Amino acid sequence: MENKMEKLYTRLCACALFRGVLSQPVFSLFERYCKMDKSDKQAKIGAYAAFVAEIYAQGGSLTELVKKLVFTDENVYVKAVAHDVKIPQAVLDSAKRELNTFSDFAALCVEDFAEDMALSVQDLPAFDSFNADMVALYKDILWNIDKHGYGIFSSSVMFRLTDTRQIEAIASADKTQLSQFVGYEEEREKVIANTRAFVDGRPAANTLLCGDAGAGKSSTVKAIANAFFNEGVRLIELRKDQLRYLPEVMAKINGNPLKFIIFIDDLSFNQNDDNFSMLKAALEGSASAMADNAVIYATSNRRHIIKESFSDREGDDVHRNDTLQETLSLSERFGLTVLFSKPNKQLYLNIVKELAKRFNIQMEEKELEIQAEAFALRKGNRSARAAEQFINSLL
């Protein structure tokens, strides 16, 4: 007759909808434990210890680990809900049955294993777990799928394209918050307002943040993605040399209930750059290069993006004016251009003083200003980045 562990293992084996979840190490290790002969007590304990070691490696809570694995699983059920496709009753019944199974698995505790092996709890390593209604929690995720997302997009805010053209989460993503910035409020508010329109389903513009280095253009985009994460915004960063794969990225996210910022940092092109035409097609709204749930945010130290030479101006081309117009045409295709200019002395010092206050730096204001100016002189320019670096040097 099957005991509690054996019955639970049998139920897990019968999971079809969430089959991908069972390939995760915590389930493989539980399977190994269940299949281990009870007569070999040391091997059984070893299998249990390996199971617990995996829980420790993933944060220490079996319940939280199972929730994460189940809620990020990309299965036919969640895809059907996301794309508003009719779901057969058999699939709905399987989802409920399997989620109840995962609830029971996630609630296992050291006492269950001690009883199964006829051992004292004190002889075994413990782990955290609690009762969680996976059916109710999953229902909430599906109800708010345009905010939660599904698959890899459900747990991270920033992503990148790998060299094998796969979208992956950025493990150490920038956690900058809008509240951390000092200065450039007017410029930043334009980008925030555009993102708000995007999230609300109103017309939003592809945006170029241009201007001097160190003004906070890239940080602004990342902070905005963080600010709108709970409203369903995700950021996918592409390098300039990856723009040729833009149609593939758009195809992967097209129809997804989330909203995506395609972020291209430090954008500039040479004439005859192959990536120029791909980005231009996307900005023109080409069906093959753009998705309805995506907007492009790019940063550049050059307002016109294309690196210009004197030969371009003088015209090796018979149609010199046409060549120059083509050079300027890309930046003009951004619906919104926000200029982050180099801060004047007053703004630079205001940033320094505000940062000094935040970090509780005790220094006379005049002395702080003198040292900040000297630091900027050594750096060769005033910028928001220079102000931050100066404060860091004091810390």
Report the pLDDT value the prediction gives residue 110, as an integer from 0 to 100. Answer: 95
Give tens-digit pLDDT for 10-21. 999 999 999 999
Average pLDDT for the chain: 85
pTM for the model: 0.76
Average pLDDT for 151-174 = 89
Report the pLDDT value the prediction gives residue 286, as an integer from 0 to 100. Answer: 57
Give tens-digit pLDDT for 22-49. 999 999 999 999 999 888 999 999 999 9
**Token pair listed for 360:** 């509780």
Average pLDDT for 155-162 = 91
Report the pLDDT value the prediction gives residue 318, as an integer from 0 to 100. Answer: 47
Give tens-digit pLDDT for 239-251. 888 888 888 898 8
Flag the least confident range among 184-188, 190-194, 195-199: 184-188
Cβ(383)–Cβ(342) below 8 Å: yes
Query: 232 by DSSP, 3-state: which?
Result: coil
- pLDDT for residue 182 is more than 90: no
Give tens-digit pLDDT for 99-113. 999 999 999 999 999
Report the pLDDT value the prediction gives residue 303, as an integer from 0 to 100. Answer: 56
Phi-psi region of 340 (alpha: psi -120 to 50; beta: other; left: phi over 0): beta
User: What band does 316 get if pLDDT is binned at 50, 70 and 90?
Assistant: low
DSSP 8-state secondary structure symbol assigned to residue 32: H
- CA nearest neighbour of 302 among 246, 340, 273: 340
Residue with tokens 């000297």: 374
Cβ(160)–Cβ(195) below 8 Å: no
- CA nearest neighbour of 245 among 274, 207, 205: 274
Q: Which of 37-46, 93-102, 382-391 has the highest mean pLDDT?
A: 93-102
Cβ(164)–Cβ(173) below 8 Å: no
**Token pair listed for 167:** 């979208």
Report the pLDDT value the prediction gives residue 329, as an integer from 0 to 100. Answer: 58
Cβ(6)–Cβ(34) below 8 Å: yes
User: What band does 348 get if pLDDT is binned at 50, 70 and 90?
Assistant: confident
Torsion from C-alpha of 172, 174, 176, 178, nearest 10 degrees: -130
Higher pLDDT, 270 or 344: 344
Report the pLDDT value the prediction gives residue 277, as an integer from 0 to 100. Answer: 67
Report the pLDDT value the prediction gives residue 309, as an integer from 0 to 100. Answer: 46
Q: Which of 85-94, 174-183, 210-219, 260-269 has the highest mean pLDDT?
A: 85-94
DSSP of 81-133, one letter per residue? HHTT----HHHHHHHHHHHHHHHHHHT--HHHHHHHHT--GGGS---B-----
Cβ(235)–Cβ(159) below 8 Å: yes
Cβ(70)–Cβ(21) below 8 Å: yes
C-alpha pair distances (Å), 62 with each of 14, 27, 54, 67, 308: 21, 11, 9, 9, 58
- pLDDT for residue 395 is more than 70: yes
- Give the chain's end-to-end CA distance (angstroms, integer): 67
Report the pLDDT value the prediction gives residue 68, as an integer from 0 to 100. Answer: 92
Gap between the Cα atoms of 302 and 216, Å rounded: 15
Give tens-digit pLDDT for 258-315. 999 999 988 776 655 666 667 776 676 655 557 789 999 988 876 555 554 444 444 4
Q: Which helix (H) or strand (E) holds 219?
A: helix 217-227
